[in-house]
C-alpha cells in the first residue's frame, strides 16, 4: 500500500470517528461502482449522507475543501445515483452531500478537521 493510500485511510478513519461521535452511523465505506467511488456513506437520522473526505499535507496547492471542485462534485453525484439505483432500500431516503476536510493546524503535528454539512446539491 502506498503512503498516499495509508494517508487516505487514516483521513477516512478520522472522519468516520468524528461523524459517529456526532450520532451518524456507517452504511458503507469505500463504495465503488462504474461511475465512481464514495468514501463514506452515513445515516444521519433518516437522511443518507454521502461524505467526501479530503486531506491535505500542506496548503501549497490549495485547501482540502477547495479541492472538491465542480468536476469532483459531478463524479460524486453520479456515484451516489448509482449507489441509490443499486440499493433500492435507500432510494426514497432524503440525501445530502457532506465534505470532511482535514488539514494541518497551526501546530505542525496537529490536524484540523472541518465538517461541511450539505456542501453542495445535485
pTM, to two decimals: 0.87
Cβ burial of 79 (10 Å; 0-12, 13-18, 19+) is buried
Contact 96, 50 (CB under 8 A): yes
pLDDT > 80? residue 7: no
Q: What is the total count of domains within the chain? A: 1
pLDDT digits (tens, 9 = 90+) for 28-87: 999 999 999 999 999 999 999 999 998 876 555 556 566 678 899 999 999 999 999 999
List the CATH number of the domain containing 90: 3.40.1350.10
Q: 62, 59, 70, 67: which is closest to 99 by C-alpha?
A: 67
26 to each of 14, 61, 67, how far by Cα in Å?
A: 13, 31, 24
Domain that holds residue 16: 3-120
pLDDT value at residue 17: 96
Per DSSP, the three-state class of 24 is: coil
The strand pairing partners of 95, in sequence order, are: 48
Pairing of β 111-120 and β 95-104: antiparallel
The strand pairing partners of 31, in sequence order, are: 38
Percent of the chain past pLDDT 90, that is, above it, reads 59
Amino acid at each position: 500500500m502506498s503512503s498516499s493510500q495509508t494517508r487516505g485511510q487514516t483521513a477516512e478513519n478520522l472522519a468516520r470517528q468524528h461523524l459517529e461521535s456526532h450520532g451518524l452511523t456507517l452504511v458503507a465505506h469505500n463504495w465503488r461502482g462504474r461511475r465512481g467511488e464514495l468514501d463514506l456513506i452515513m445515516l444521519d437520522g433518516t437522511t443518507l449522507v454521502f461524505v467526501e473526505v479530503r486531506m491535505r499535507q500542506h496548503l501549497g496547492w490549495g485547501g482540502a475543501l477547495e479541492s472538491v471542485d465542480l468536476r469532483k462534485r459531478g463524479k460524486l453525484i453520479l456515484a451516489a445515483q448509482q449507489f441509490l439505483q443499486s440499493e433500492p432500500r435507500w432510494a426514497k431516503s432524503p440525501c445530502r452531500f457532506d465534505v470532511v476536510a482535514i488539514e494541518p493546524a497551526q501546530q505542525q503535528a496537529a490536524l484540523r478537521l472541518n465538517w461541511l454539512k450539505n456542501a453542495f446539491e445535485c
